[in-house]
Amino acid sequence: MNPLSITLRESAVLVPVYRDAAGELQLVLVRRGERGMHGGQLAFPGGKRDPEDASLLATALREAEEEVGLRPEDVQILTALPELNTFTGGFHIAPFLGRIRRPAVWWCQQPEIAEVLEISLRTLADPATHVQEWWQLPGWPEQMLVDYYRVGPYQLWGASYRIIQPLVARLLAGEWDV
C-alpha cells in the first residue's frame, strides 16, 4: 500500500498550562488507559474529530472536558500550534495551547484515561530529563532513535513530545501570558 494514499484522521489536542500557587508553570498531561493503540502512553487531552464538532478547536475542548473534566469556560486559548501528523497512527493533529483554571479535582474518563499528571515546565527544561535512545517497537521496520522526556516512571515521546519540546523554553521565557 502506498503510504501517501492513507487518509489521515483529523484530531485535536489541548496543551493545558497554568501557574500553581507558587507561581510555577505547570503542564497537564494524561496517561492513557492500557487498552488501545496508545495504551499507557502520556498524551495531551484530545482525540478524533466528531462529525458534530464545528472545528478542530471544538474537538480539543470537547475531548478535554470528556477526558479530564476541564470545562471549556475554564480554558483560554493562547494560540493554535503547528499541526503535525503521527508517524504510525494515521492521525493529523491540531494542537491548541490553552491557559486553564485548574479544577479542584481532576476527573478521569475510565478506562480511556488512567491518570492526570501535572508536570513543572522547569522539570522538562532540565537537560537530565531529556533522553535519546534507540528503540525497536512492534510494527517498526527498523530501530529508530527516539527523543523523549523522562517524567517520573513514564516516557513522554512521539507526537506529544514533538508538540511540547519546542514550547518549553518559549513558555518559560514568558512568550504567552500564562
pLDDT by residue (tens digit) across 101-137? 999 999 899 898 999 999 999 999 999 999 999 988 7
| Residue 52 pLDDT exceeds 70 | yes
Q: What is the pTM of this model?
A: 0.91
CATH architecture label of 3-124+167-172: Alpha-Beta Complex (3.90)
Work out the percent of the chain whose per-residue pLDDT is above 70.
94
Q: To the nearest 10°, report the CA torsion of 65, 40, 29, 153.
A: 150
Confidence tier at 166 by pLDDT (50, 70, 90): very high
Task: Write down the pLDDT at residue 135.
Answer: 83
- Residue pair 48/38 in contact by the 8 Å Cβ criterion: no
Query: Which pLDDT band, with edges at 50, 70 and 90, does 89 fall under?
Result: confident
